[in-house]
Amino acid sequence: MSQALPRSADGGRTAAPRANAVVAVLAFGGIVVSLMQTLVIPIVPELPRLLNAPASDTAWAVTATLLAAAVATPMTGRLGDMYGKRRMLLISLVMLVAGSVTAALSDSLGAMIVGRALQGLASGVIPLGISIMRDELPAERLGSATALMSASLGVGGALGLPAAALIADNFDWHALFWASAGLGVVALVLVPALVPESAVRTGGRFDLVGGIGMAAGLVCLLLAISKGADWGWSSGTTLGLFAAAVVVLLVWGWWELRVREPLVDLRTTARRQVLVTNLASIAVGFAMFAMSLVIPQLLQLPEATGYGLGRSLLVAGLTMAPSGLVMMATAPVSAALSKARGPKITLMTGALIVAAGYGLNIVLMSELWHFVLVTCVIGAGIGFTYGAMPALIMGAVPASETGAANSLNTLMRSIGTSTASAVAGVILAQMTTAFGQTALPSRDGFKVVLAIGAGAALLAFAVASFIPRQRVAQGAAETTETGDAKVAEVAEVAEVAEAPASEGPVAVAGVPVRGRVLGAERVPVAGAAVTLISLGGKQLGRAVSRDDGSYDVGAPGAGSYVLIASSEGCQPQASTVVVADEPVAYDVLLSGTSGLAGVVRSADGGTPVTEAVVIVTDVRGDVLATARTDVLGEFAVTDLVPGPVTLAVNSPKHRPLAQVVEVGGAGTTRVELELRPGAQVRGTVRGGDAPLSDARVTLVDAAGNVVATTRTGADGAYAFSDLDTGAYTVIATGYPPQAAPVTVPGTGVDDHDIELAHADE
């Protein structure tokens, strides 16, 4: 058998790519996809003549891309989570190239529609790229990188329009699609060379029934939205499609909630942070697209209308181009604001900027520089919003579901843009002015669309205000025993309630109410004031707890009363006590008024560690509180009792940390923690020349303890994350087992391939 060969730069293997190269290649892929979507715009009015088909039919060259993208985007996200995000990214780029070549070779409507549909299947590149960034980039680079990747959708759209106009004016229209194919080939070469495959997988089976149901529902919905103006909004076809969409999507949702491995985890999607972000995304998509519908038309309408500028399509495209550059420039600003104030504030800020841009456009629409200014303002707002949305989504879902979650968010934006197109089309078709023998959209019609765009941005602001500022540590509950700890906490309270009263009760008048006042770890609280009052607020009895925490008060008779217990350094506790004719045993559990707060930073550079899980336990190991750090690395927990606690912190790509902290009296104790970045061992298990799937790989430390066990994916890949420095042994089984030593020198990635062979080889 051959020995395992660790990858190294000088050993002939490819070294781990640098983060800058990964970001640049993935952002380039996103720009290529968004360019593809706008390249066809200059020739849309000419398609009936070029393809010898009616205008109502040639509109399918745009509609086919929209429908294919809506269906493919969430599916490729789920498949990426299951089988590899880079793999699905490459398949999407292949679809882009195939569709571009098909359209470039077409001279008939059928071939054009097929080509454009294939191009639409590539729309999952941007959410897949964002998910790869989360898996591969250091935590301190993730915010700015995802903001840039998300903004690439707007950047490519803004830059694509003048480029397409230039090509269409100077070359045969087929050159548009050859250019798209060429850019796709460049991306196909760069991605496998510089972007690693993510080792984060969900596994399982693809929900084919869910995929078909979602596709049918979305096609009905988007077809009705995009073609309703042509068919008539009250026509049987349009209304039937809307009704079918509602029925199919409801049945699809019922199926997704019951299937074991759903295409879209609706329970995760229903989390407040994810749900509200997706709703805001629809409004943001609407607001963004309104600009693309109004401004080019105003620039190209004849000057004789009194409000058109009579410019060419190329000039209109060049006027829109700076907005794309502004989006790119605001990506790092968006990331910085998210770090300082949180992505929620970034999203709300961007929405306000977009609304201000539309308001400015209503006033300024008579000069070319007016439109350059307006598009730059709106582009800046879009840059902020597009940078914040993936951060909000990824902060609320497990790492294994980021592909599907980001894809669904992208779909929500697409639904917003489709709705904007339909609404603007109806308004501009109804509010017209006569220009010779032709009816053109009126100035007031354009202003109404701009006002609706501003309203959509303000709606996004309002919806985003409901996003929770700091999410409870749900991720910890899913991956640790937090849920069991909560059960233990309830059991502990029950145990306290059932504990016998202290010896030597004092005789009291009326029906005795006796028990103990207890603090953390069921320690008796001496000197606590215990007061019994009626439901009307009248004091009926008062006592002070003794050294063993016991108290005795008397109730005048049967009935319901309120028992109040308070002590210095603890939160007051009020409880309803039901008294019958016999003595009542009732223990009171007090929580503290002390708090614990601090900041978690990376030891490598001192950058804040975002979304780190913070767990506070008592000396017996029972969980007292959990929290999650914000974008500044800050956390805070309250209601703690003074004394020693164990503070544990865990974050992806860092080594976990635990230390004892002494919580002071009333007030907040602050701590500063540093997490050391964790190393990663990954590689591929091969049998001969072929990768081995489902091979068991075990990592053992120098003391012989099993650190982790995993199984290889379909491509033979495995990975172990968050490792400490030291010597390990990697053992692979599937054929006769193969063991090989590996030394983890520190942070970063150590690539380690394993080759297995039969024993007789």
- Separation between Cα atoms, residue 42 and residue 46, nearest integer Å: 8
Instruction: Determine the pLDDT at residue 455.
Output: 92
Q: Count, in order, helices (H) and strands (E) of the chain.
A: 20, 26
- Of the chain, the percentage scoring pLDDT greater than 70 comes to 83
Q: Please choose, from the candidates 621, 701, 609, the residue with its C-alpha nearest in 3D space to the C-alpha of residue 649.
A: 609
User: Distance (Å, rounded) from C-alpha 135 to C-alpha 87?
Assistant: 14
Give me the count of residues in the chain: 761
Question: Which positions ≥6 away from 272 have C-beta within 8 Å?
Answer: 466, 467, 468
Q: Collapsing DSSP states into helix, strand and coil, what is residue 576?
A: strand
Contact 461, 291 (CB under 8 A): no
Q: How far is CA 573 from the centre of its chain?
A: 39
Asked if 53 contacts 109 with a C-beta cutoff of 8 angstroms, the reply is yes
Q: Which H helix or E strand runs over 352?
A: helix 343-363
| The residue type at 528 | A
Query: Poorest-confidence range of 93-107, 200-214, 300-314?
Result: 200-214
Res. 200 pLDDT band, cuts 50 70 90: low
Beta strand pairing call for 511-518 and 588-589: parallel
Q: Are the beta carbons of 378 and 153 closer than 8 angstroms?
A: no
Beta bridge partners of 741: 729
Q: Are strands 584-585 and 613-617 parallel, antiparallel or unpaired?
A: unpaired
pLDDT over 60 at 475, yes or no: no
- Give the pLDDT mean for 638-664: 82
Cα separation, 101 vs 105, in Å, equals 6
Q: Which of 291, 458, 284, 445 is nearest to 361 (CA)?
A: 291
Contacts of 98 (CB under 8 A, 6+ apart): 118
Estimate to the nearest angstrom the gap between the alpha carbon of 246 and the chain centroid: 26
Among residues 452, 391, 395, 381, the alpha carbon closest in space to that of 421 is found at 452
Output the average pLDDT for the chain.
Answer: 78
Write a three-state SS string for 608-642.
ECCCCEEEEECCCCCEEEEEECCCCCEEEEEEECC
The better pLDDT of the pair 605, 250 is held by 250
Most confident of 45-49, 266-270, 490-494, 749-753: 45-49
pLDDT (tens digit per residue) in 554-602 = 888 888 888 888 877 677 778 788 887 788 888 888 766 677 888 888 8
What six digits make up the tokens of 759?
């024993």
User: Once rounded to an integer, what is the mean pLDDT over residues 189-197?
Assistant: 87
Measured in degrees and rounded to the nearest 5, phi and psi for residue 539 equal -75, 130
Q: Can you read off the two tokens belonging to residue 677?
A: 């970045």
The first and second tokens of residue 401, run together, are 């579901």
**Tell me, what's the pLDDT at 154?**
66
Please enumerate in sequence order all residues whose Cβ is within 8 A of that of 118, keeping only pairs 6 or more positions apart, or say none. 68, 95, 96, 98, 99, 102
pLDDT above 70 (res 613): yes
Q: Describe the chain by its helix, strand, coil percentages, rounded to 5.
A: 55, 20, 25
Whole-angstrom distance, CA of residue 469 vs CA of residue 477: 19
| Widest distance between CA atoms in the chain | 104
Provide the pLDDT for residue 4.
35
Instruction: Round to whole Å and give the CA distance between 702 and 741.
Output: 10
Residue 506: the pLDDT is 58
Per-residue pLDDT band for 181 (boundaries 50, 70, 90) equals very high
Residues 6 or more apart whose CB falls under 8 angstroms from that of 266 comprise 253, 256, 257
Residue 578: other Cβ atoms inside 10 A: 11
Q: Which of 293, 320, 294, 296 lies closest to 310 in space, CA to CA?
A: 296
Check: CB of residue 512 under 8 Å from CB of residue 548: no
User: What CA–CA distance (Å, rounded) separates 513 from 505?
Assistant: 10
Q: What is the average pLDDT across 729-738?
A: 77
pLDDT at 383 over 80: yes
Cα first-last separation, the chain? 7
Distance CA 273, CA 233 (A): 34
Residue 108 — pLDDT band, cuts 50, 70, 90? confident
Q: Are 195 and 22 in contact (CB under 8 A)?
A: yes
Beta carbons of 604 and 653 less than 8 angstroms apart = no
| Predicted confidence (pLDDT) at residue 148 exceeds the cutoff of 60 | yes
Between 264 and 465, the more confident residue is: 465
Give the residue with greater pLDDT, 59 vs 244.
Answer: 244
Nearest residue to 476 via CA among 465, 484, 468: 484
Distance CA 697, CA 684 (A): 10
Per the structure block, which two tokens stand in for 609?
């560690």
Burial 69-89 (b: 16+ CB within 10 A, else e): bbbbbbbbbbbbbbbbbbbbb
User: Does residue 124 contact residue 88 with C-beta atoms inside 8 Å?
Assistant: yes
Percent of the chain with pLDDT over 90: 8
Rounded distance, CA 741 to CA 729, Å? Answer: 4
* Whole-number pLDDT of residue 113: 87
φ, ψ at 7 (rounded to 5°): -75, 145
pLDDT at 482: 37
CA distance 692 to 220: 42
